[in-house]
Amino acid sequence: MTHRLRKLAATARLSAAQLRHEIGRSVLVIVAIALAVLAVTLLAGLGLGVLETGQDRFDDADQDVWISGGAVELTAGGGMENPIADSHQLAADIEEREDVESASPIAFHAIYVGTEPEPSELELVSGVGVPNEHGGLTLEEGDGFSEGDVHYGEGDYDGPMTREVIVDPRMADRFDIEVGDTIYVGTSPSAAAEEEFTVVGISSSYSQFLGTTTATMPLSELQEITGTTGSDRAAFVTATVAPGADRDAVSDELQGEYSEYDVRTSEEQFESMFEDQVLLLASGTALVVLAVIAGVVLTVNLLALVASRQRGELAALRALGLSRWLLTGMIGGQGIVLGLCGGLLGLLATPPAAFALNHLAASLVGFENLLRTPPIVYLAGGAIAVVVGTLGAAVAGWRTSRYARLEQLAE
C-alpha cells in the first residue's frame, strides 16, 4: 500500500513538473479546454431552450382547451386568413356550458404600424385581436384597455371604437413609443394613415408567444380595420374549464359537439404545433448532440496533442526505466489538472455569456430566456472537461509511450 502511494505521489510530481516546465503551453491548453466547455454549455443550453420555449408559451397562456379550424394561412393580399367564422358566437355558446368558466376568440392579422402617417415610416407587424379588457396580457407599462371589446356590441359592431392598442417592448423601443402616444394602424400603408390609435400599455406576452413584433387591440376593432366583421373570423377560440372539471373530458365533449373544428387540450395543441415544426425540433436536438460531440472531440484532441508533444521527454523517462503505466499515469495526471482548470474556467464564463446571448436574442427575435443552463448543462460541461479529458489523455499517453523509444532522443 505504501509503495503504491509513493508511486502515485511520484507520478503526481512528474505531472506537475511537466506542466510547470511548459507553463505557456499549459495556459493555452487550459484556455482551449475552457472554450470547448463554454461551447458545450452554450450550445446545449440553446438546444434545451429551443425545446422548452414553446411549452412555456402555452403554459403562460393559461388556457385549458384550444379550438382551431386549421392553420392560419396567408391570403392573396398578404393578410392572414383566420379559419373560424362567427367566433364571438362560438365562444359565447361554449361559455354557457357549466363545465367551462370562460371562452375567448383570438385573431391574427398582418398590419402596418408607425408613429408617422407616411408610408415609408410604417412597418408590417402581427396584429392580435383579443376580447375583454386585457385579454390575459401581462402589462409591463400602462393600464391596458379601458372598456375592452365594446365595439362588438350585440354582434352588430355598432359600439364605440376605443382606438386603444398595446404594443410590445421591441416596437416601443423601435418607434420610441410611450404609453399615451398616438400611432397609426392599418392593413396597408395608405389605410394606416387614416387610423389613429392610442397606446394604453406595453406587453411582451403575445410577442413571446408568436416570436414576432405584435400590436394588440380589442378583437372587434382589429376585425373592423381589417374588414372581417361580416364573417367574425378568429384563429382560435380558447377556453378555461370550471374548477373541478376534467379538462380532457371537456375537450372530448367539445370535439364531439363541434366536429368541424379541431379541439385539443393545451398539451395536445402544443404537440400539434410542434409536429409542424419538425425543423425546430430537429435543430434543438441537433444542437444538444453536436455540443456534446464537439466538446468531447475538442477536449480529447487537445490533451492528445499535449501527450504527443512530450514524446521526447517520455522516451527519456522510458530509457531511465520508468514503466509505461507510470508514464500513462503522468499524462493522465496532466489531463486531470488541465481539465479541472479549463473546465472550471469554462463553467465560470457560462453565466455571463448566457446572459449576453439571451439579451441579444431578446432584442433580435423577441424570445426571452431562450438560452437555458440548468444544472445538467454544467454537469455535462464539467464531465467532458475532466472525465473525458482525463481518459483521453491517458489513452493518448499510453499510445505515445509505446512509441517513445531511444531513437527519438537523437531527433
* 3-class DSSP state of 251: helix
The C-alpha cell at 315 is 522516451
Q: What gap in Å lies between CA 326 and CA 215, rounded to an integer?
A: 69
Average pLDDT of the residues in 175-197: 88
* 3-class DSSP state of 102: strand
Long-range interactions of 22-31: CB distance < 8 A, separation 24+: 22/309, 25/306, 25/309, 26/338, 29/302, 29/303, 29/306, 29/338, 29/342, 30/338, 30/341, 30/342, 30/345, 31/342, 31/345
pLDDT of residue 45: 80
In whole numbers, what is the pLDDT of the chain averaged over residues? 78
Single-letter code of the amino acid located at 406: L
Q: Is the pLDDT of residue 285 over 70?
A: no
Phi, psi for residue 233 in degrees, rounded to 5? -90, 150
H or E stretch covering 27: helix 23-61
Instruction: Write the pLDDT tens digit of every residue in 132-180.
Output: 765 556 788 888 888 888 888 888 888 899 999 999 888 888 888 889 9
* 3-class DSSP state of 310: coil
Alpha carbon 142 to its chain's center? 27
Q: What gap in Å lies between CA 80 and CA 237, rounded to an integer?
A: 16
Q: Where are the beta strands (DSSP E) in 70-167?
A: 73-74, 80-81, 100-114, 123-130, 141-142, 164-167
H helices, E strands: number in the chain: 14, 12
Instruction: Write the pLDDT tens digit of every residue in 344-399.
Output: 888 899 899 888 888 877 766 666 677 788 888 888 888 877 787 777 777 776 77
Task: Name the residue among 294, 292, 333, 315 with its Cα closest to residue 400.
Answer: 315
- Residue count (the chain): 411
Instruction: Write the pLDDT tens digit of every residue in 87-118.
Output: 999 988 998 999 988 888 988 888 999 888 88
Q: Where are the beta strands (DSSP E) in 69-213?
A: 73-74, 80-81, 100-114, 123-130, 141-142, 164-167, 182-186, 196-202
Neighbours of 355 (CB within 10 A): 12
pLDDT of residue 273: 64
The C-alpha cell at 194 is 387614416
Instruction: Write the pLDDT tens digit of every residue in 255-268.
Output: 999 988 889 887 77
Percentage of residues in the chain with pLDDT exceeding 70? 73
Single-letter code of the amino acid located at 212: T
Task: Name the residue among 377, 358, 378 with its Cα closest to residue 369.
Answer: 358
Q: What gap in Å lies between CA 200 and CA 156, rounded to an integer?
A: 25
Are the CB atoms for 170 and 200 separated by under 8 Å? no
Q: What gap in Å lies between CA 272 and CA 276, rounded to an integer?
A: 7
Are the CB atoms for 346 and 36 separated by under 8 Å? yes
Task: Name the residue among 217, 170, 184, 195 with its Cα closest to residue 368.
Answer: 170
pTM of the model: 0.60
